[in-house]
């Protein structure tokens, strides 16, 4: 995932550079100012100095602007699981992936908070977020299967990992004092273990 400041990155940007980034910025600022629904794609394009049609060439729909980064997170999770020691149990491998992802998010806390405030205010955006999380779960399950984990253990472990992450993430967002996401993830997993133990 290219981050920012692409100086000379191949043939990119014969016109005003970084069209995609401008669209992203314009969209995020408008979503924060007026809310997601009230913001029109025409407005986003105008603020970015581009046409509405161009917006849809960079993003499949109005929501995707906010979820563009999910791919990088997924790659990181899958990669970490894949490169976990063979001796690691499935849930330990997943935890390693989640911790890596948590560390990534930790660096972008401010952006994550803003993003989440927009998402929390709109049902369509929540739907999109949930399908991204589901995609993460299946990707992790695939990575586990590659490690020899059978079904339904692979799917369950992947889904359980997402549950742990979701709960930890929510606490991380709604906490006033800056707190580390990584230990929250560890605690969340411990809690899940406790909860599934009794009964």
| Chain residues in the site for DNA (CB under 7 A) | 4, 11-15, 19, 39-42, 45, 49-54, 56-58, 60-63
Distance between CA atoms of 2 and 24, rounded to whole angstroms? 14
**140-179 footprint of a second copy as x/- string (CB under 8 A):** ------------xx-xxx-xx--xx-xx--xx--------
Dihedral sign, CA of 114, 104, 189, 133? positive
21 alpha carbon, distance to own chain's centre:
17
Size of residue set near a second copy by CB under 8 A? 36
User: Count H helices, E strands: the chain?
Assistant: 9, 0
Answer whether 97's CB lies under 8 Å from 140's CB: yes
Residue 198 contacts which entry, a second copy, DNA, none (Cβ below 5-8 A, type-dependent): a second copy
Question: CB of 126: closest distance to DNA in angstroms?
Answer: 15
Count of alpha carbons within 13 angstroms of residue 179, beta-carbon side: 15
Q: What does the block give as tokens for 108? A: 């972008």
Residue 152 contacts which entry, a second copy, DNA, none (Cβ below 5-8 A, type-dependent): a second copy
Question: CB of 32: closest distance to a second copy in angstroms?
Answer: 23
Distance between CA atoms of 25 and 23, rounded to whole angstroms? 5
Q: Which is nearer to DNA, 19 or 184 (CB)?
A: 19
Q: What does the block give as tokens for 83? A: 């490169």
Contact pick of 9, 108, 175, 193 for a second copy (by CB under 8 A): 193
Q: Which is nearer to a second copy, 93 or 105 (CB)?
A: 93
Which residues are CB-neighbours of 16 under 8 A, at least 6 positions away?
22, 49
Residue 19 contacts which entry, DNA, a second copy, none (Cβ below 5-8 A, type-dependent): DNA
Residue 62 contacts which entry, DNA, a second copy, none (Cβ below 5-8 A, type-dependent): DNA
Q: Interface with a second copy includes 29 (CB under 8 A)?
A: no
Tell me which DSSP letter residue 150 carries: P
C-alpha angle 30-120-140 in degrees, rounded to nearest 5: 110
Residues at the contact surface with a second copy, assessed by CB under 8 A:
88-92, 95, 123, 126-128, 130-131, 134, 152-153, 155-157, 159-160, 163-164, 166-167, 170-171, 188, 191-199
């Amino acid at each position: 995932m290219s981050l920012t400041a692409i100086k000379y990155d191949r043939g990119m940007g014969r016109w005003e550079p970084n069209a995609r980034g401008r669209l992203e910025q314009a969209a995020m600022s408008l979503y924060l100012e007026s809310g997601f629904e009230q913001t029109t794609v025409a407005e986003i394009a105008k603020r970015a100095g581009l046409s509405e049609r161009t917006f849809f060439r960079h993003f499949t729909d109005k929501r995707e602007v906010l979820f563009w980064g999910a791919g990088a997170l997924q790659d990181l999770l899958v990669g970490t699981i894949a490169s976990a020691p063979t001796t690691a149990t499935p849930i330990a491998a997943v935890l390693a992936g989640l911790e890596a992802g948590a560390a990534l998010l930790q660096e972008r806390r401010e952006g994550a908070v803003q993003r989440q405030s927009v998402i929390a205010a709109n049902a369509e955006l929540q739907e999109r977020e949930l399908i991204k999380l589901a995609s993460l779960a299946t990707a992790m399950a695939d990575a586990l299967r590659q490690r020899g984990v059978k079904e339904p253990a692979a799917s369950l472990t992947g889904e359980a990992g997402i549950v742990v992450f979701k709960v930890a993430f929510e606490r991380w967002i709604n906490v006033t004092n800056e707190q580390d996401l990584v230990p929250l993830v560890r605690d969340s997993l411990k809690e899940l273990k406790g909860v599934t133990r009794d009964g």
